[in-house]
Amino acid sequence: MDLQKTGALIARARKEKGLTQQQLARQLHISHTTVSKWERGESLPELATLVAIAELFEVSLDELVRGGTVSAPPSAPAQKRKTSNRAIVTT
């Protein structure tokens, strides 16, 4: 978890929504100084607040915590299934 990246994402998303720190703070029921600390990378929101921020800014929790867009993991090679050369005989 990178506090600087997460803070930068919160600041960027807040500005894109046209919100001031004070307005965001009111929506989340916290102080504007708390928002400022997040955006400067000095602290992180509590889990319940992270969920509310993710919903407000329409980003995943993963993106929010990582501080940016999350790319899909590389696909793993398909595992070969072992097959038997034995025939099944029923009587």
The Cα-based distances of 9 to 13, 22, 33, 62, 83 in angstroms read 6, 17, 17, 12, 49
pLDDT in tens, 24-69: 999 999 999 999 999 999 999 999 999 999 999 999 999 999 888 7
Whether the model pTM is above 0.75: no
Confidence (pLDDT) at 68:
82
The three state secondary structure string of 20-74 is CHHHHHHHHCCCHHHHHHHHCCCCCCCHHHHHHHHHHHCCCHHHHHHCCCCCCCC
Average pLDDT value for residue range 1-12: 92
Confidence (pLDDT) at 91:
56
Confidence (pLDDT) at 33:
97
